[in-house]
Amino acid sequence: MIFARKVWKLLVAIKDGLALLFLLLFFIAIYAVLTMRPNVGAVRDGALLLELNGTIVEEPSLPDPLEFLVAREAPLAEYSERDIIRALRAAAKDGRIKAVVLDLSRFVGGGMVHLQEVGAAMDEVRAAKKPVLAYASYYGDDGLLLAAHASEVWVHPFGGAFVAGSGGKNLYYGGLLEKLKITAHVFRVGTFKSAVEPWIRNDQSPEAREASKALYGALWEDWKADVAKARPSADIALVSTDPVGWLKASGGDAAKAAKAAHLVDRIGDRTDFGERVAELVGKDPTNPAPGGFAHTPLGTWLAANKPTSSGKAIGVVTISGEIVDGEAGPGLAGGDRIARLLNEALNQNFAALVVRIDSPGGSMAAAEEIRAAIERYRKQDIPIVASMANLGASGGYWVATPASRIFAEPGTITGSIGVFAVVPTFERALSDYGVTTDGVQTTPLSGQPDLIGGLAPEVSAMLQANVESGYSRFVGLVGKARGKTPEQVDRIGQGRVWDGGTARQLGLVDQFGGLDDALTYAAKAAKLEDGEWHAVFLGDGADPLATLLQHMRSTEAQSNAPRGGSDWAAMAAGRQNDLVARLLTDVERITATRGVQAYCLECTSGLPVIRENRPRQPLSALLARRFGLTGE
């Protein structure tokens, strides 16, 4: 009886805890619903204020509700690139907006293609004779790429601006796995398919190094060209070739060094900056505190400037993040979810379909499911156009093959035509502790694959054959789509990644251009003139919970943004969080249940912002998997 009472008390405690949790979530939801719709009437004369307290992405991910309860600080927000561009273009034409202000104090970054497109929209504002002012305590490469397009750039006295350039280092676990006596069985096709190298090597292979040098070199030149065009006075050569001498010339004062190199125009704290903006647009009538200025926030401005919905509809399906099996996303490209969106919209009489891709690839099975769903539109004689943002590699290129035309930018990472699979086994490690396997087999495949006793030779041979078959299918799809023989595709395939400029020369990409260019081309293919069509983004507004949580994350990130300065040392120390995230992601990658992969390692390493922006699995999902509460 005593044991039964203890069990009953435990169950009651669990019930009470869950009741309190759901009650808390209920009141949070009520508050968010009441505040999630910005007041259109709140638009006022002054500045458009873009507080970018997070990352610019193709498709904001769905926040995990559990993170709101256990996080010690507000999660970073994610801002849709097309929303920011729409806001800037509307500001350029609206007389109520006198200037645009970018607060980049908590800006983490984004992919280079996104930043370049936002920068081009900032140029449109300046072309309309409206000033664009940027402020941050610290500018990294991504912040500088945006700030270069501003007419006036400010930095905090304790801050600075530093140029790191493209490139970086990967983590390699070959030596660790050998010490732990864990065998990573690798099955791959492609000389350059380096996604498996962290598990079998201690360093980068010569082939992978060759490809990385070409890729990162091209991206670095593209970054410098964009900054030089937007801000010709910036001395990037000095900052990037002699950073120590450059900093010492200003007595170690990073803010003064940034100004001396013309990376920034003015040094001042947030109050100084606010007073400067107030000179241009007027003071904030609701906030008499120093540094206040009249402004309209991004959410309110977007609510007042809805996209047009006139004319025929052109569908846009977004494939953003790693391609995975199941219903994952947004922010991850769940094959089942995206295929379902496409199938449900098949009868909506779209004039054309644009496939917007920002993905390093992933599950080959999920990529094929998405490709097959896109192909169904092609069979109905609906024009299909692909538009690649930062990434359209490996599985991300696989899903582009049904398109009759592929758009990309010089800074797009694409190609990586290759597949692989990794299966870890633990027979050597466990044998040291006296754990062995034995039994009866009726066929060579009985009890296989055996992760404890090791893989049978027949299993290894079959897995390699399966991977080779997947590569042959990949090559065939690309060859059919691009009008090339299998031999021609194999020569530019082999898992090698390419920058967008080289990919265009190789015939993997047809034309430079962004999403707008792809939409315009699709409209012409559908014989529609300007003003006769509008874009419909599949999945937008379909999930009220997603909209609610995304708004909560954005609101919390803005309300908890730091108001003081931050120096370079603080930013460098913050990289430890990124390192932990990389380790956890790599552990998840090798231990999770995965099939044959069409995934690009270079797309998510060596480019810090892209790596940081890669959606991680929600905390609740990771806990569920670790404790066996999911069937995945």
Q: Where are the alpha helices (DSSP H) in 512-567?
A: 515-525, 544-559
Q: Which strand (E) or helix (H) includes residue 222? A: helix 206-230
**Joined tokens for residue 620:** 């609740």
Which residue numbers are catalytic?
Answer: 193, 394
What is the C-alpha end-to-end distance of the chain, expressed in Å? Answer: 39
Q: CA 310 to CA 301: how far, in whole Å? A: 21
167 phi and psi, to 5 degrees? 115, 175
Instruction: Concatenate the DSSP letters of all residues of 126-162 into one string.
Output: HHTT--EEEEEEEE-HHHHHHHTTSSEEEEEEEEEE-
Which residue shows structure tokens 């509008």?
A: 534
pTM confidence score: 0.84
Q: Is 497 helix (H, G, I), strand (E, B) or coil?
A: strand
Sign of CA dihedral 616, 217, 358, 600: negative
For residue 630, the model assigns a pLDDT of 35
Q: How many CA atoms lie within 13 A of 431 on its CB side?
A: 13
Cβ neighbours of residue 336 under 8 Å, at least 6 residues apart? 325, 326, 327, 366, 369
Which residue stretches of 231-345 are H helix? 236-241, 243-248, 254-260, 270-281, 298-304, 335-344
> What are the sequence ranges of the domains in the chain?
44-166+231-305+547-601
- The phi, psi pair for 627, rounded to 5°, reads -105, 15
Q: Reduced to 3 states, what is the DSSP secondary structure of residue 306?
A: coil
Per-residue pLDDT at 423: 85
Q: Phi/psi class of residue 536: alpha, beta or left (left: φ > 0; alpha: ψ in -120 to 50)?
A: beta
Tell me the C-alpha distance between 574 and 235, whole Å.
27
Backbone torsions φ then ψ of 97, nearest 5 degrees: -90, 115
Closest CA to 65 of 4, 99, 118, 21: 21
Distance CA 228, CA 130 (A): 21
Number of other residues whose CB lies within 10 A of the CB of residue 48: 28
Q: Which residues pair with 388 in a beta bridge?
A: 357
Taking the chain (632 residues) in runs of 10, the rounded mean pLDDT of each run is 60 64 58 48 87 93 63 73 96 96 94 96 97 95 96 95 87 88 85 80 88 91 95 94 94 95 96 96 87 93 89 95 90 94 94 96 94 96 96 95 97 92 86 84 83 86 90 94 94 92 96 96 94 91 54 51 51 57 64 69 55 40 38 32
- Predicted local confidence at residue 236, as pLDDT: 95
Measure the CA–CA gap between 53 and 618, rounded to whole angstroms. Answer: 20
Q: Are 158 and 105 in contact (CB under 8 A)?
A: no
Rounded CA gap, 73 and 575, in Å?
17
Q: Which amino acid is at 378?
A: R
Q: Are strands 183-189 and 419-425 parallel, antiparallel or unpaired?
A: antiparallel
> What is the reported pLDDT for 617?
43
- Whose CA is closest to 107, among 137, 62, 87, 86? 137
One-letter amino acid at 477 equals L
Cα Rg, the chain, nearest whole Å: 26
Are 615 and 61 contacting, i.e. CB atoms less than 8 angstroms apart? yes
Chain centroid to CA 183: how far? 32
Q: What is the architecture of the domain spanning 44-166+231-305+547-601?
A: Alpha-Beta Complex (3.90)
Residue type, 454: G
The kind and range of the H/E element at 80 are strand 77-80
Residue 527 gets the label, from left (phi > 0), alpha (psi -120 to 50) or beta, of left
Are the CB atoms for 183 and 428 separated by under 8 Å? yes
| Main-chain phi, psi angles of 58, to 5 degrees | -75, -40
- Residue 404 carries which DSSP code? S
